[in-house]
């Protein structure tokens, strides 16, 4: 039986998207069209070649690259027009920012060609400004007019799109990962033991956080929470960014806190398997794939109430704790609860180990397969 031809248009390669594409390629004759090879603040080293699906890269215009200095996810390429005209897929998924030229062109040209289209989007932000909200509603009209379905990056994403007039049939497809990469038996034992020797001194409790060292990620909140506590804990923070020097000054001489720097995707599972719990205090993340990673590793999670993945997947007191984004005291209390109660750590860890399969790329690829087959029958 001939497989359904699926095209997926998106900004740039990311580790978690590649996991999803590999899972989709099990069901579809898949073509992925990237608007660019990378964006300004991305440090991932990615091998985007795959024998499982076809890949095309577009090249941004000079003007687009200039605009990216202010809006990093702005993409326009002249070659997208030819790609859209030549696309022979049976079904199209369009991701990336809804307001950029590549997305708008794809929505209109593919609809004119009679292609069924789904838009893949995460939770939208809202503003106190009526003018800004009105403009967002206007810029979302191409999605409303041309798409058959919304693939929403979480339940809250559905609500936010509805609030802007997008009431399409929807399926909840959050960002997802290949959870098998976080299985301890898939890791190199010597490399993992080397990390243990370096950081887990006297069987110390390891707290892990991961994210860019930028103001929005609130790494200072976590650091203050640990500094204010007297418990024996080691906080490892993965990531790089323009806040590093400020955070180093904040840490001062507290040997319990380490800034690890940027770590490539294939190294991340070692740090997650080293850790006893994961902590994330972001002021805002539409989703937050680090929560997927923590669940895949079976870690209890302490997270802010501003992270989409935590709001949907973390049950306060069951598989982690939800704290106010700027709540230094609340984060401190949650950390101390876990450090002081090994049984609580085991209970929360067990929940996430049981739940993890329902967060995987394989799980959501199967859902997308059923959704697309349904849409093509209608």
Query: What are the tens digits of pLDDT across the range 283-309?
Result: 999 999 999 999 999 999 999 999 999
Average pLDDT over every residue of 124-144 = 94
**Binning pLDDT at 50, 70 and 90, where does residue 38 land?**
confident
Whose tokens are 């289209």? That residue is 117
Q: How far apart are CA 19 and CA 40, in angstroms?
A: 22
pTM, 2 dp: 0.93
What is the structure's pLDDT at 15? 86
Q: Does the pLDDT value for residue 151 go beyond 80?
A: yes
Domains of the chain listed by start with CATH number: 5-178+360-377 (3.40.50.2000), 180-359 (3.40.50.2000)
β-bridge mates for residue 278, sequence order: 208, 301
Work out the mean pLDDT of the chain and round it to a whole number. 95
Q: Which helix (H) or strand (E) holds 192?
A: helix 189-199
What is the structure's pLDDT at 364? 98
Q: Does the pLDDT value for residue 377 go beyond 80?
A: yes
**Binning pLDDT at 50, 70 and 90, where does residue 125 land?**
confident
Percent of the chain with pLDDT over 90: 91
What is the structure's pLDDT at 47? 66
The closest alpha carbon to 43, from 210, 171, 173, belongs to: 210
Q: How far apart are CA 106 and CA 81, in angstroms?
A: 8
Q: Does the pLDDT value for residue 1 go beyond 80?
A: no
Q: How far apart are CA 84 and CA 77, in angstroms?
A: 12
CB–CB of 154/171 below 8 Å?
no
Average pLDDT over every residue of 181-196 = 95
What is the structure's pLDDT at 44? 62
| Total residue count of the chain as it appears in this document | 378
CB–CB of 174/136 below 8 Å?
no
Tell me how many helices (H) and strands (E) the chain has. Answer: 16, 13
Q: Does the pLDDT value for residue 48 go beyond 70?
A: no
What is the structure's pLDDT at 127? 86
Average pLDDT over every residue of 234-249 = 97
**DSSP three-state, residue 140:** coil
**Binning pLDDT at 50, 70 and 90, where does residue 46 land?**
low
Average pLDDT over every residue of 136-155 = 97
What are the start-end ranges of the E strands in 182-332?
A: 205-210, 233-238, 257-261, 277-280, 301-304, 320-323
Q: How far apart are CA 1 and CA 93, in angstroms?
A: 22
**DSSP three-state, residue 309:** helix
Q: Does the pLDDT value for residue 25 go beyond 70?
A: yes
């Amino acid at each position: 039986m001939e497989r359904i031809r699926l095209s997926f248009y998106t900004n740039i390669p990311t580790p978690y998207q590649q996991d999803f594409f590999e899972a989709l390629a099990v069901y579809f004759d898949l073509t992925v069209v990237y608007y660019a090879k990378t964006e300004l603040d991305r440090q991932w080293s990615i091998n985007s070649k795959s024998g499982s699906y076809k890949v095309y890269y577009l090249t941004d215009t000079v003007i687009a690259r200039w605009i990216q200095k202010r809006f990093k996810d702005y993409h326009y390429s002249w070659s997208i027009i030819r790609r859209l005209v030549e696309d022979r897929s049976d079904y199209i998924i369009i991701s990336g920012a809804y307001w950029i030229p590549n997305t708008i062109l794809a929505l209109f040209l593919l609809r004119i060609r009679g292609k069924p289209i789904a838009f893949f989007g995460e939770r939208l932000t809202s503003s106190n400004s009526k003018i800004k909200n009105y403009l967002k509603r206007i810029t979302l009209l191409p999605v409303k007019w041309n798409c058959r379905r919304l693939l929403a990056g979480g339940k809250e994403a559905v609500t936010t799109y509805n609030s802007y007039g997008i009431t399409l049939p929807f399926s909840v497809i959050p960002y997802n990962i290949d959870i098998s990469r976080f299985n301890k038996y898939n890791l190199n034992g010597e490399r993992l033991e080397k990390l243990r020797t370096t950081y887990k001194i006297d069987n110390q409790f390891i707290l892990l956080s991961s994210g860019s060292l930028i103001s929005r990620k609130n790494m200072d909140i976590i650091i203050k929470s640990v500094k204010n506590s007297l418990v024996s804990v080691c906080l490892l923070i993965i990531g790089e960014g323009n806040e590093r020097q400020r955070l180093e000054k904040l840490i001062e001489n507290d040997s319990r806190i380490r800034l690890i720097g940027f770590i490539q995707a294939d190294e991340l599972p070692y740090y997650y398997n080293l850790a006893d719990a994961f902590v994330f205090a972001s002021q805002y993340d539409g989703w937050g794939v680090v929560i997927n990673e923590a669940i895949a590793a079976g870690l209890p999670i302490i997270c802010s109430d501003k992270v989409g993945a935590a709001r949907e997947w973390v049950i306060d007191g069951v598989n982690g704790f939800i704290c106010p984004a700027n709540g230094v005291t609340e984060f401190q209390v949650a950390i101390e609860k876990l450090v002081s109660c090994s049984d609580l750590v085991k209970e929360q860890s067990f929940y996430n180990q049981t739940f993890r399969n329902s967060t995987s790329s394989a799980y959501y690829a199967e859902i997308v397969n059923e959704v697309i087959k349904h849409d093509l029958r209608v």
